Structure 1
Amino acid sequence: MSASTLTDVAVAVAVIALVLVRQFRPQQVNQDRRWWLLPAILVFVALRQHGLLDAHHRSLSVLLIGAQLLAGLVMGAGWAWTTKVWSEPDGSVWTRGTKATAAVWVVGLLVRFGVAGLGALAGVSLGTGAMLLALASSLLVRAGVVSWRAGRIHPSYGVPAAVSLGGARKDRV
């Protein structure tokens, strides 16, 4: 295994750990945050690899990467729709993952590992780039859907949720 591959695996594991820890505790939705930055970094790391496609199986590589991306998109949508989104009386909007969110993660990862396994059985070497691209697509879809859902919430005191999205962070225990 090359140093680049080990770095990519370490980046993916660190991102997944960070995302999972943050997902299952309440977080205030804040439109000013750069939600696109982490996915952009993952795409950069994935695309800087020279061996993203298997040179001996280009068509099958593209097909498998497409399957990985599709699985990532579906996982991101499932993740977003199973996330609890609510409004506090002050108008702030919050999110937290549920048990269903954890199930989406498990199934999504199993599907993606299954696609990678099928590729390996067919002799296709995808490397870690496909995994990083799929993770980036999951993060982008999840952020977009959750932002959309948060914008549709009406707080209990009539303060528009969109007005409070850029407000100060509320501490939660």
Structure 2
Amino acid sequence: MQSMNGEAGLVLVVVIVALVVRQQLRTRPVRHIGSLVAPALLGCLGVAGIAFGVFTVVKEHPLTALPIILLVVSLAVAAGFGAARARTVRVWRDPEGVVLRKGTAATTGLWLASVCAHIGLGLWIDHAAGAGVLGTVSLYAYLAIGLGTQNFLVRGQAAAL
């Protein structure tokens, strides 16, 4: 987290994750398009962040394959956590026929584990890159892929009802 100005970066991460988890624990309708808006916005921020991170690293020295491989692994881990979280989200039809969703305590636990995994992988990416930015700035892309995967799978559960 050193590249995000230490404490300010940590606060930003905590706020973003808290907002995402809070939204997950609310009972809300399953939306076909709306469930992909937040991941799309996070994805745009993620692409910009990764581009900035690569540019910052390349200014100081050549970027090797290891940080890129670790970044890809990190994003695959995000998708895996998203798939696991989707299995913990309750999906049901209310008496009016509206399909609803709500995360559980397990959903929250998996979010926390996911964030810890990202922090660990981010530190490893930054160490391998030799500059402390690429792993850190990939947070938005990590959230986009994890949340997008989860929402896509929850939409599938809703369609099956």
Please list every run of at least 4 consecutive aligned residues from structure 1 whose deviation after the TM superposition is greater than 3 angstroms. 9-15, 120-125
Which residue identity is paired with 1:122?
Answer: A
TM-score by length of 1: 0.73
For residues 51-95 of structure 1, what are the alpha-carbon distances to aligned partners after superposition, in whole Å with 9 as ceiling and x for unaligned? 333323331221121121011101111111111111112211111
| 1:129 aligned residue | 137
Q: How does 1:1-173 map to 2 (within 5 A)?
A: 5=4, 9=9, 13-33=14-34, 35-49=35-49, 50-53=51-54, 54-55=57-58, 56-122=62-128, 124-125=130-131, 126-153=134-161
**Contact 2:122–2:136, Cα closer than 8 Å, also in 1:** no
Which residue identity is paired with 2:140?
Answer: L
TM-score by length of 2: 0.78
- Cα 1:152–1:101 change in 2 (3 A) is same
Alpha-carbon distance in 2 for matches of 1:26, 1:113: 29
Aligned residues: 149
- SS at 1:85's partner residue? strand
**Contact 1:24–1:96, Cα closer than 8 Å, also in 2:** yes
Alpha-carbon distance in 2 for matches of 1:40, 1:143: 12
Which residue identity is paired with 1:27?
Answer: R
Q: Which protein has the bigger helix share?
A: 2
**Contact 1:87–1:94, Cα closer than 8 Å, also in 2:** yes
For residues 86-133 of structure 1, what are the alpha-carbon distances to aligned partners after superposition, in whole Å with 9 as ceiling and x for unaligned? 111221111111111112112211111111222344354315332211
**Contact 1:51–1:127, Cα closer than 8 Å, also in 2:** no
| Aligned-pair Cα RMSD in Å | 2.5
Alpha-carbon distance in 1 for matches of 2:37, 2:12: 14
Which residue identity is paired with 2:75?
Answer: L
In structure 1, runs of 5+ residues without a counterpart are: 154-173
Which residue identity is paired with 1:66?
Answer: V
Which residue identity is paired with 1:44?
Answer: C
In structure 2, runs of 5+ residues without a counterpart are: none
